[in-house]
Amino acid sequence: MIRLVLFALMMTGLGAVEYTLGPDSQPQTGVPKGTVTKHVLAPGKYFPGTPHNYSVYVPAQYDKTKPAAFMVFLDGSGALGNGVRVPVVFDNLIHKKELPVMIGIFVDPGVLPAVSPNVQSRYERVFEYDSLSDRYSKFLVEELIPAVAKTHNLSKDPNERGLYGVSTGAVGALVAAWHRPDQFRRVLSFIGTFVAMKGGDGFAALIRRSEAKPIRVFLQAGKNDHIVPNQPQGTFYAGSWPVNNQVMLDALRFAGYEAKLELGDEGHNMKHGAAILPDALRWLWAGHPAPLAVKEPAALNGPGWDPRGKVSSIVAADTGWEKVQEGAIDGVVGRDGNVTYAKGGNLYKVGGAAAIGASAAMPTAVTSKGAVYTVDAVKKRAGLAGTAGVALEMAEPSGIAISPDDGMAVITDAGGRFAWSYQIGPDGGLRNGEPFFRLEVPESGWMSGVRGAAMDTIGQVYFATALGVQVCEANGRVAAILHSPAGPLKGVAFGGAYLYVATDAGLFRRPVKVQGGVSAKLPKPPL
């Protein structure tokens, strides 16, 4: 959505404002100065053969006996340079107690060295930063930060850990925090490239539908970024930087994040960003050490509130997953408020200690009248138990659910993107199958990994996937995504006022605002 106000701003002259570095970006008399040391991180698991240069800023007030807050700066050399002056800003704001005592880790993107002078190196920056995968977050958490922690006392509190990125690095910073809110909860994004290069344009849509995470985000963009007078729509094939930053802000706020956007007059540079950096840091760290938390949308249940498909209409922001059973769980089924789960080849009732039978060899679902449907993943067929059923056009059939009105069956395909919808005929047979439900897939794969489904009484379908619980409206669109408590999900079911999920780490439940079970008549689905 291109806002008329934003479009009007783009049509103004280029470089209308002169940005300068203020007092907080200048060395000040009487302010203790921190130190910056240079290091090299040896090649690791996530970017094989590729070393990374990094520097560490340590403020004069640092006490090694106390865990220190810290920020990781992508494209670290640029943040250290005279144009941005992060160490100077840190010196001044820490001295004025407007920032906590904070270490800065400044890491540059890696370069895979050439094997000889006659061949090219591989420059890793776009691969590292400009992706929606969790690879870079793993690099930070498992390789870079542990290396720095060997010699510095870094806080383990995610509320005391922040990330900073510029351009493509802004995508990398926000994606890393989004994947690991248990590690990072504050993000500075300058001239972020949330455009169609390697998936950044789809990130806002994913955020909009996903359960919010306790992350505070400061966005900056230039209204003349890749904009010239005769091409006000932008000069770059992948989209408009300023427009997509506004889209990102809207998505974050829609989902419940605390987010802010400062739109300046400049193009794709850090003149405006460097000038406002001190204020951006103050906003980002305001209220420290109070922890950041997700809040319900301000419009919740107010005039004009539309509950359709919203995460906040399914779960409350202040509730989380509760583990009710330890150990790897193979699947979970709910019926009439009762929940049973499969573990180690046996079937157990939630709350019971003894096995109540052997778990079914095939995925099954039962109608309100007791008819049993099965999915044969080997033969790739599904239908009423004891019948040949219908052939399935799927890579890896993995589960089945029956609609509350007994009119439709949903069959999941762990080896593909789509789950299928089948009509249940008068004779009980499955017919008119379609790849109806389009699921989100992990950035690093092409399969949904879906392992079963459940339905609520308004016709929404809940899919247990590698990304969490994906909730589709009855028309097949993913409308909401609930985060997983522990890795890929292996099953999902309703039980009373709770939604249950099976994982390799245990069985979890969470209170929900919707109901599962049987309904005589479903509402007409939205178009």
- CATH code (residue 408): 2.120.10.30
Distances in Å between the alpha carbon of 400 and those of 69, 93, 408, 428? 48, 57, 10, 15
- Tell whether the model's pLDDT for residue 3 goes beyond 90: no
User: Is the residue at 430 inside a domain?
Assistant: yes
Q: Which of 284, 299, 320 is the last residue of a domain?
A: 284
Alpha-carbon span 441 to 133, nearest angstrom: 11
Same domain flag for 240 and 375: no
CA distance 159 to 186: 7
**DSSP codes, 262-292:** EEES--SSSHHHHHHHHHHHHHHTTTTTSPP
224 & 344 share domain:
no
Rounded to two decimals, what is the model's pTM?
Answer: 0.92
107: domain CATH number? 3.40.50.1820
Query: In the predicted model, what is the mean pLDDT of the chain?
Result: 92
Q: Residue 440 is encoded by which pair of tokens?
A: 């989100």
Cα 290–Cα 294–Cα 297 angle in degrees, nearest 5:
130
Render pLDDT for 28-61 as a digit per residue (tens, 0 to 9): 999 999 999 999 999 999 999 999 999 999 999 9
Same domain, 264 and 349: no
Q: Is residue 478 part of a domain?
A: yes
**What ranges in 298-360 are assigned the alpha helix state H?**
none
What's the confidence (pLDDT) of residue 444? 80
Residue 295 confidence (pLDDT): 86
In a domain, 64, yes or no: yes
Residues in Cβ contact with 504 at an 8 Å cutoff, skipping those fewer than 6 apart: 328, 329, 486, 487, 488, 490
Q: Which among 194, 181, 77 is positioned nearest to 129, based on CA atoms?
A: 194
- Asked whether residue 245 is assigned to any structural domain, the reply reads yes
Residues 376, 414 within the same domain: yes
Nearest to 105 by CA among 76, 64, 137: 76
| Whether 80 and 196 share a structural domain | yes
Average pLDDT score over residue span 273-300: 94
- Tens digit of each residue's pLDDT (9 = 90 or more) over 260-275: 999 999 999 999 999 9
306 in a structural domain: no
Task: Give a yes or no: residue 294 inside a domain.
Answer: no
Provide the pLDDT confidence category of residue 517 given band limits of 50, 70 and 90.
low
pLDDT at 521: 54
Specify if 305 maps to a domain.
no
The answer to whether residues 131 and 233 belong to one domain is yes
**Residue 94 or residue 458, greater confidence:** 94
Q: Is 249 helix (H, G, I), strand (E, B) or coil?
A: helix
Domain count, the chain: 2
What is the strand order of the sheet 430-438 is part of? 397-402, 408-413, 418-424, 430-438
Domain enclosing residue 239, as ranges: 4-114+124-284
Radius of gyration of the chain (CA): 26
The pLDDT assigned to 151 comes to: 98
Indicate whether 240 belongs to any domain. Answer: yes
Both tokens assigned to 176? 């890393």
